[in-house]
């Protein structure tokens, strides 16, 4: 029972981050039919921006912290929420920049130039990060402390619970916004048919910018949430983004709820396989993806595409 509980809690925590990033892929794909292949670098940037804010707040409070290993007090009180807010603002601006620089110039053109453009933007972000922070990983304290909670014999870190709760709240909130608010309905209209949406008076460009900004915010917050569990590294995001994208593919890239399900599924599967044999983790995960796509090419909950002839 303790092993099963450990598996579920760890899987839901990691799966919550995968689900957030998978949802961010779905938001840009359904709205613009493009993907941000710099999302992994945005995850890492969010983690390091958060660490920088925590470091500056600790220094302002009279503490002389070590950036490579911040004290627990650096994340205490309102410091961590302030860091999350700052990461959201900066990553939102970064999302705006990548849309204007890497997506919009190729709008309406044939081909997939935006793929290399977003990859190049990600390399620029990573290179700037290396120049500013260096390649060394950084230990990030949890705002709830690092003491392990024992429940029925299972050791659970408070940050794992926080990650799951925050990810769940964000996903439920976004789901309600997308389904009930005017902005959400406008974004869904653009996703369905941008030409008709423009004729109905919807600012299509603004909705696309909003989609990329929101997608980048989710990536940055996901990076800051996972950093106290894995430590912050500029090479952290690639693996997370790849698995999150895999979760989106499994659930159905054009179905936001399916992407969320796929992210949690991969998190639970990864946690379960790691307890059994960590070396088989990637083999099982990507074997599952291949199997799902072989049976359902559009994912478990993706809409079937119809070709008119």
In a domain, 298, yes or no: no
In a domain, 123, yes or no: yes
Is-contact 300 40, C-beta < 8 A?
no
In a domain, 273, yes or no: no
Tokens of 73: 């007090």
Beta carbons within 10 angstroms of residue 73's beta carbon:
14
Is-contact 266 15, C-beta < 8 A?
yes
Identify the pLDDT of residue 38. Answer: 94
Beta carbons within 10 angstroms of residue 282's beta carbon:
14
155 pLDDT more than 50:
yes
Q: Give the chain's domain count.
A: 1
Identify the pLDDT of residue 284. Answer: 83
In a domain, 290, yes or no: no
Rounded to the nearest angstrom, the gap between the alpha carbon of residue 99 and the centroid of all alpha carbons in its chain is 17
pLDDT in tens, 26-71: 999 988 888 999 999 999 999 999 999 999 998 888 877 788 888 8
- Please choose, from the candidates 179, 247, 212, the residue with its C-alpha nearest in 3D space to the C-alpha of residue 20: 247
In a domain, 8, yes or no: no
For every residue of 229-240, DSSP letters joined together read HH-B-TTHHHHH
Between CA 107 and CA 100 the distance in angstroms is: 10
23 pLDDT more than 80:
yes
308 pLDDT more than 60:
no
218 Cβ neighbours under 8 A, 6+ residues apart: 20, 21, 23, 24, 27, 170
In a domain, 144, yes or no: yes
Between CA 219 and CA 147 the distance in angstroms is: 27
Is-contact 177 183, C-beta < 8 A?
yes
In a domain, 79, yes or no: yes
**Start-to-end C-alpha separation, the chain:** 56
pTM recorded for the entire structure: 0.91
82 pLDDT more than 90:
yes
In a domain, 294, yes or no: no
Rounded to the nearest angstrom, the gap between the alpha carbon of residue 242 and the centroid of all alpha carbons in its chain is 10
Return the bridge partners of 156, or none: 149
Domain hosting 204: range is 22-237
Which spans in 99-112 are helix H?
none
- pLDDT band of 109, cuts 50, 70, 90: low
Is-contact 146 227, C-beta < 8 A?
no
Identify the helix (H) or strand (E) that includes residue 167: helix 158-180
Identify the pLDDT of residue 307. Answer: 43
182-192 vs 158-180: helix axis angle to the nearest 10? 80
Identify the pLDDT of residue 131. Answer: 95
Between CA 86 and CA 193 the distance in angstroms is: 34
pLDDT in tens, 165-178: 999 999 999 988 88
């Amino acid at each position: 029972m303790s092993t099963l509980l450990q598996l579920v809690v760890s899987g839901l925590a990691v799966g919550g981050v995968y689900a957030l990033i998978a949802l961010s892929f779905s938001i840009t794909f359904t709205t613009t039919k493009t993907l941000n292949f710099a999302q992994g670098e945005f995850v890492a940037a969010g983690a390091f921006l958060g660490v920088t804010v925590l470091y500056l707040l600790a220094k302002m409070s009279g503490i002389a912290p070590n950036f490579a290993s911040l004290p627990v007090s650096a994340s205490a009180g309102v410091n961590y929420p302030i860091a999350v807010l700052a990461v959201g603002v900066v990553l939102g601006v970064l999302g705006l920049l990548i849309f204007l620089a890497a997506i919009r110039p190729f709008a309406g053109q044939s081909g997939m130039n935006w793929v290399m453009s977003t990859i190049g933007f990600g390399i620029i972000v990573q290179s700037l990060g290396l120049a500013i922070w260096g390649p060394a990983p950084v230990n990030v304290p949890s705002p709830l402390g690092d003491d392990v909670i024992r429940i029925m014999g299972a050791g659970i870190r408070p940050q794992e619970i926080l990650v799951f709760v925050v990810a769940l709240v964000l996903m439920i909130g976004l789901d309600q916004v997308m389904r009930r608010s005017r902005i959400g309905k406008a974004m869904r209209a653009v996703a369905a048919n941008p030409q008709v949406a423009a004729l109905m008076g919807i600012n299509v460009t603004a909705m696309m910018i909003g989609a990329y900004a929101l997608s980048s915010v989710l990536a940055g917050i996901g990076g800051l949430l996972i950093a106290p569990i894995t430590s912050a590294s500029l090479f952290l995001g690639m693996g997370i983004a790849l698995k999150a994208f895999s979760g989106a593919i499994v659930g159905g890239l054009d179905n936001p709820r399916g992407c969320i399900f796929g992210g949690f599924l991969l998190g639970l599967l990864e946690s379960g396989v790691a307890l059994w044999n960590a070396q088989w983790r990637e083999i099982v995960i990507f074997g599952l993806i291949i199997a799902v796509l072989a049976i359902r090419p559009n994912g478990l909950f993706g809409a079937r595409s119809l070709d008119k002839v």
